[in-house]
Every structure is written in structure tokens, then in C-alpha cells.
Amino acid sequence: MSKPLRHVVIVGGGSAGWITAGSIAAMHNSASNDGVQVTLIESPDVNIIGVGEGTWPTMRTTLQKMGISETQFMRECDVSFKQGAKFAKWVTGDEDDFYYHPLVLPEGYFELDLYKYWQQDNRGKSFSDAVCFQEQLCEKGLAPKLITSPEYAAVANYAYHLDAGKFADFLKRHCINKLGVHYISAHVDGVNSIDTGDIASVITREHGDIGGDLFVDCTGFSALLIGKHYNVPFISKKDTLFIDTALAVQIPYEEGDNDIASHTISTAQDSGWIWDIGLPSRRGVGHVYSSAHTDQASAEQALKAYLHQSIGDKSNELNFRKIDINPGVREKFWVNNCVAVGMAAGFLEPLEASALVMIELAATTISEQLPANRQTMDIVAKQYNQRFNYNWDRIIDFLKLHYIASKREDTAFWRDNRDPKTIPQSLQDLMTLWQHRPPIEYDFSHKREVFSAASYQYVLYGMDFNFTNPSVIRNENETKFAQRLFKENDKKTEQYLKALPSNRELIDKVVEFGFSKV
């Protein structure tokens, strides 16, 4: 029980496995003889799903901690910059209906809530445009920084779009060659347990038994350890989040210099929505939908109609990859000496790129709170399960918010999403609260929230949420301060629109010249 934890065994590769391996190995000096040994076992037969192409700004910190060059990462993983998400047709379904969830906080966010002042005099601007310069950068297709900016530094806060398959391979090489991760290609056929219920070793077909002190299940939906061995129940969330099917396709550019959107484009459909992500070499496009509200043939037709707008009749020749989604999470994530990360722990839907950020959060938490020995592991596990139950609940609330704030009445999908029986009580309580005041940081209890109150503000006000009792403005000094903040945002917007290159231009320069090293 008091023997130091010296060996972490990760079962499964992909983004979940390699982000976890890299995070632990970098923090615990696995490349040295006195560091914590990290072994990753990957099946030679399993292919990753490969459509998780959107990240959050946290990925910059994750990569930096692993000692990864941003230039090299961008060159090898077909990376473009992401500055938020544009939601089209989510509010009314009209052609001119859109709003942004940018990655830059509203101007003066920690000093003054600008909503009521924008509501009083919005000057024809959306909320995000009035309080944040990033909507304009996205609308103009501009990059979030300059080629002279150091690696990972930002003018405007940014994340990435990337090729998930290339990313996993890139991380694999870095972890093995630079961080000392021991790699084994093998099929895991079973588990050897001891009397306490702990895993002593996993049984591989090619290399026999491989023992360890902590086992991380990154085996995706198959959940070999947490699900099949420990039988931890999977709790479906389909009664709240209806999306259960995806049709995905990759669209090569006809020309090598096509503009690259610096944001994810999410366009609402009758029974779901379409994602559109621009990478340097192609677009990744997919239609996620509820099979309870439409059939595959209709979903394919909707996706072809969307693509016809950009590639014409070629959309009729495409073949789509069908991916089944079972939205839900494990009842527990850490049991005995086994912890699940990635889809083995849970998956909801692609909206707001929550999948990769949850992998990052899990990998970081495990790394930072790695138990000293088996004696402390159950305490760490208890804290971990509490934290991640909370994290998953907050993500479910935030994703559901996008659907219930809609005013669309045209299909059963949108109407059913607003049925109170499908809305978690925690979100219903917040919506009642927010009828009388804006979302604030005190509405959430954890230091590391996946989505801050600012994110809720951008979605609520972007979707024209109606207050029952809007605040009355009486403070003259506050009003003057608000006007200064609006002017400061206008000034920054004008300055950055003139100074920043296009997304395509900066990406091309990174490939040719690279960023300045930190």
C-alpha cells in the first residue's frame, strides 16, 4: 500500500491515450531512470474515429507542457487556427440568423457586465460584436496573431482545428522519442486481478502479461477496463441530448489557396446541425442528427444540399461515413486502480468541441494529482469522480442551452428540445435565475470550469434570450465606464482588422518560416 507508484499503463492510443501519456510523462520525468514509467499499449487493428477536429485554447498549454513546438505541430497535423464558433440558423432558422461564441472575453469582463448597456443601445451590433473584437476577425477570415508572434502567444485568444489522425500519430512519435513513453503494439485480451479487485496486469496476445500500478482505459466506446472488466454502468443522456448519429465527409479544396474560416461553422438543420471545419488542405464536414426525428436518407439529403452551396453538383457524388453516437457518461470514472479517459469515460456530441477538452482536463488532473502510492489512490479517486461528475453535468447543461434558447418552431426536434422533461433541473434553475440577471462567475462552483459565465452570456445573448425583469440603469459613473469599454472595443477592432493577416496567409507563413521560439 505504501510502495511508491512507479508505473502507469495506458490501454489504447488515439488522442485520449497519447495526450494522457504525454501529460504524465512530461510532468513526471518518464524519460529519466527515476521518473514514473509510462507504457502505452495500442491495438494494431483499432482505427480511431478521427473526426474530433476542434479544440479549445487549453490545447496550447497542453502542447507547451509536453515540450512540443507549435510550428512543428502545425506543419505535421494539418492545423488551422480556431477563434470560436459561428452558429447559423439556431435562433429562428432564417437565412440571416447567426451569432458567435468567440474565445476572447467581453471587454472589461471582470469589471463590469456590459449586457444591460448593450441592451439599452446596441447600435445595430450583436452582443459579441459590441463587446469583443473577435467576431469581426472571424467574419473577415483573419488570423489571431502575426508570424512575428512567439509560439503559443496570442493577439486574440485561439485554439486549433486539426486532422485527428495526424495529431494522434504526431503525439505518438513525440511521446516515444522525446518523453520516454514505452510503446507496445498488442491486442489486450483480458485482465489479471488480485483479491482487492485491483488490476495486477493486462493480458496481451503478443507480449504476455503487462503489470502496472495505475491503469488508464483509453479504449474508446469498447471500454475494455472500466466497462467490460469493472462493469461500471454507462448512463445514457439521450433523454436530454437527442443527437445520436453523424454523417461525416472530407472535402478537398479545388484550389490550394482557398480561404480558411478561422472558426467552426455550425449550421442548424431540421433535426440536428452541420459542422464545417476548415483545415489547410481540406474541409471536414458532417451532419449530426437525432434518429428519432429524421431518417438517414433525409439527413444525407440535407447534408448534400448544404454542400451543394459550395461545391455544386459534386455534392451528389459523395459517400458519407456513418458514425453512431451514444450520448452518455460512466457512473464513475476511477475505480480501484483504473481510470477511464476519453470515450471510455463518456461522449455527448461534437457541439462546442467538448470531447478533446475533457481528455485534456482528465490527463492534466491525473498528472497533477497522481497518487503517491496505493494508500492514497482511493482518496484521489473519490475527488476525481466528484470533479468529473460535476464537469460532465456542466457540459450537458451548456450544450442543452443551445437548443432550449432557440425560438425555432418549425420541426419537432426543436420543439421537443424545449420540453421541460428533457432539461436538467440544474439548467432550469439557472435559466430562472438568468431571467432576472446575467450569468456570473458565482453561478459555478469550480475553479476550472469548462465553460465560464462569459460563454453562457455569448450563447444567451446571441440567441436573443429575453429577460423577464431587465435591470434598470441608474449609476451614471457606471454608464460612462460602459461607454468607454464599448469605445475601447471599437478601437481594438479597427486596429486588429488593419494589422492581422488572413488565416490562410499566416498558416502558409508558419509552414514556410515558422514562429519565433519562446
Kindly report, residue by residue over 385-420, the tens digit of the pLDDT.
Answer: 999 999 999 999 999 999 999 999 999 999 999 999
Query: CB count, 10 Å around CB of 321?
Result: 13
**Same-domain pairing of 193 and 333:** yes
- What's the pLDDT at 258? 81
Please tell me the distance from the alpha carbon of residue 353 to that of residue 162, in angstroms, as a whole number: 12
Under the phi-then-psi rule, with left for phi > 0, alpha for psi from -120 to 50, and beta for the rest, what region is 355?
Answer: alpha
- Side chain identity at 361, as an amino acid letter? L
pLDDT higher than 80, residue 45: yes
Least confident of 93-107, 164-178, 248-262, 288-302: 248-262
Final residue of a structural domain among 392, 426, 445: 392
Tell me the β-bridge partners of 71: none
**Same-domain pairing of 310 and 340:** no
Residue tagged 467574419 (cell numbers): 139
- What's the pLDDT at 363? 98
Judge whether 159 and 152 are in contact, CB under 8 Å: no
Q: Of the candidates 237, 281, 229, 239, which has an alpha carbon nearest to the alpha carbon of residue 260?
A: 281
Query: CB count, 10 Å around CB of 368?
Result: 10
**Same-domain pairing of 301 and 318:** yes
**Same-domain pairing of 296 and 337:** no
Domain range enclosing 318: 245-324
426 found inside a domain: no
pLDDT average, residue stretch 454-466:
91
pTM of the model: 0.95
- What's the pLDDT at 443? 86
pLDDT average, residue stretch 255-272:
91
211 found inside a domain: yes
pLDDT higher than 80, residue 516: no
**Same-domain pairing of 335 and 316:** no
**Same-domain pairing of 208 and 191:** yes
Band the pLDDT of 468: cuts 50, 70, 90: low
Who's near 308: CB < 8 A, 6+ residues apart? 315, 316
Tell me the β-bridge partners of 23: none
Band the pLDDT of 436: cuts 50, 70, 90: confident
**Same-domain pairing of 230 and 333:** yes
Residue tagged 521518473 (cell numbers): 35
**Same-domain pairing of 369 and 383:** yes
User: 100 — phi, psi (to 5°)?
Assistant: -115, 145
pLDDT higher than 70, residue 43: yes
pLDDT: is 201 or 114 the higher one? 201
Final residue of a structural domain among 374, 392, 410: 392
Please tell me the distance from the alpha carbon of residue 31 to that of residue 34, in angstroms, as a whole number: 9
Extract the C-alpha cell encoding 493: 477592432
CA-to-CA separations, 472 to 130, 423, 436, in angstroms, rounded: 20, 30, 11
Band the pLDDT of 506: cuts 50, 70, 90: very high
Helix 354-368 / helix 58-65 crossing angle, nearest 10 deg: 40
DSSP string, 409-436: -SSHHHHHHT-GGGS-HHHHHHHHHHTT
Final residue of a structural domain among 392, 407, 441: 392
**Same-domain pairing of 320 and 346:** no
Extract the C-alpha cell encoding 299: 439527413
Judge whether 303 and 285 are in contact, CB under 8 Å: yes
- What's the pLDDT at 119? 84
Return the SS3 of 9: strand
224 found inside a domain: yes
Judge whether 194 and 93 are in contact, CB under 8 Å: no
347 found inside a domain: yes
187 found inside a domain: yes
Query: CB count, 10 Å around CB of 212?
Result: 22
301 found inside a domain: yes
Please tell me the distance from the alpha carbon of residue 216 to that of residue 8, in angstroms, as a whole number: 7
405 found inside a domain: no
Please tell me the distance from the alpha carbon of residue 332 to that of residue 446, in angstroms, as a whole number: 19
- What's the pLDDT at 70? 97
**Same-domain pairing of 249 and 385:** no
Q: Of the candidates 264, 311, 309, which has an alpha carbon nearest to the alpha carbon of residue 288?
A: 264
Q: Calculate the average pLDDT of the chain.
A: 94
Please tell me the distance from the alpha carbon of residue 287 to that of residue 273, in angstroms, as a whole number: 6
Please tell me the distance from the alpha carbon of residue 484 to that of residue 492, in angstroms, as a whole number: 12
- Please provide the distance, in angstroms rounded to a whole number, between the alpha carbons at the two ends of the chain: 42
320 found inside a domain: yes
SS3 content of the chain, % helix, strand, coil (to 5): 40, 20, 40
Judge whether 199 and 337 are in contact, CB under 8 Å: yes
Edge-to-edge order in the sheet of strand 208-211 = 188-193, 199-204, 208-211
Residue 379, burial from CB neighbour count under 10 angstroms (0-12, 13-18, 19+): exposed
pLDDT average, residue stretch 209-234:
97
**Same-domain pairing of 214 and 343:** yes
pLDDT average, residue stretch 311-338:
95
Please tell me the distance from the alpha carbon of residue 37 to that of residue 213, in angstroms, as a whole number: 10
Q: Domain count of the chain? A: 2
Who's near 401: CB < 8 A, 6+ residues apart? 427, 456, 459, 460
Give the CATH number of the domain where residue 351 resides.
3.50.50.60
- What's the pLDDT at 9? 98
- What's the pLDDT at 123? 74
Q: Of the candidates 280, 23, 316, which has an alpha carbon nearest to the alpha carbon of residue 162?
A: 280
- What's the pLDDT at 306? 97
Return the SS3 of 459: helix
Least confident of 247-261, 273-287, 368-382: 247-261
Who's near 512: CB < 8 A, 6+ residues apart? none
Residue 68, burial from CB neighbour count under 10 angstroms (0-12, 13-18, 19+): buried
Percent of the chain surpassing pLDDT 90: 86
**Same-domain pairing of 260 and 316:** yes
Query: CB count, 10 Å around CB of 293?
Result: 19
Q: Of the candidates 243, 227, 408, which has an alpha carbon nearest to the alpha carbon of residue 330?
A: 227
- What's the pLDDT at 469? 60
pLDDT average, residue stretch 223-236:
98
Return the SS3 of 187: coil
